Structure 1
């Protein structure tokens, strides 16, 4: 089946509690042992975020001078949104195949609008405060905007775009 839930990863090793911060680590370890699928999805989401952020920054840097910062930002986010949704389908949520691919991509583009609003607004604010901001400053602002929108992106991916994976799959008759 094209949209099967990924196999549960092996349980994490428990972390023994120690006097300095060990209690928190032990509690986190117990939490991740109770939620291995969430752990796997977050780990995959982090890998995808690093890849897509690097690609987005390269596209932005290449398009910045010929198109301006706002257009370079918008184009890089749209292109990377398709890549991001596809990588998250495969790596974070274990969806392989083309079943519901167009729907997932459409919804991924809606989610991208959140990041676009945050990064465009951040760039606008940066240029209001510092009209001659360097490309390094722009890249930092865009990255911070993307990090801020990443939390909402994960929640929307998990509970809206790929919510079908949370329903139990009926056993074949």
Structure 2
């Protein structure tokens, strides 16, 4: 119970706990997604071209990341899985263009670079895609407002 005349703190605002929980899950899922995509890309690059490895790793991680965010970050949301995955699918196209552009540009300047170096160059792109995916999902799932 609050004392009379006590000041409100940031944690007393409605939705603050929800946003804090969402940010926490986003960080965990985002780090796991970025690491998973990097490892998958690196593994695939040993026997496939960069654009194929990027497409496959991005496709797998997009589905897993979207579902993890839907179930953990935005749990209890009335948004159906199909709607969340469709929103993520729209972002997938943009993400593929950004990450493919990054790897192609790197390969242009370093044509003999190893898959490991390509992966290191792509990690910031993967992380950026994860942040944008979270933002888009947050807009779709909770309308950009904490519940």
2:39 matched residue in structure 1 = 58
Distance change >3 Å, CA 135–CA 33, structure 1 → 2: farther
- Rounded to whole Å, the distance in 2 between the matches of 1:39 and 1:167 is 10
Q: TM-score, normalised by structure 1?
A: 0.69
2:64 matched residue in structure 1 = 83
The answer for unaligned runs of 5 or more in structure 1 is: 1-29, 169-173
Contact 1:85 1:108 in 2 (8 A): yes
Among candidates 3, 22, 42, match of residue 23 of structure 2: 42
1:113 matched residue in structure 2 = 93
RMSD between aligned residues: 2.5
Residues 1:149 and 2:103 are matched in the alignment: no
- Rounded to whole Å, the distance in 1 between the matches of 2:131 and 2:11 is 18
Q: TM-score, normalised by structure 2?
A: 0.79
SS of the residue 2:47 aligns to: helix
Bigger relative contact order, structure 1 or 2 (CA pairs below 8 A, ≥6 apart): 2
- Aligned pair count reads 137
Give 1:50 shift.
1.6
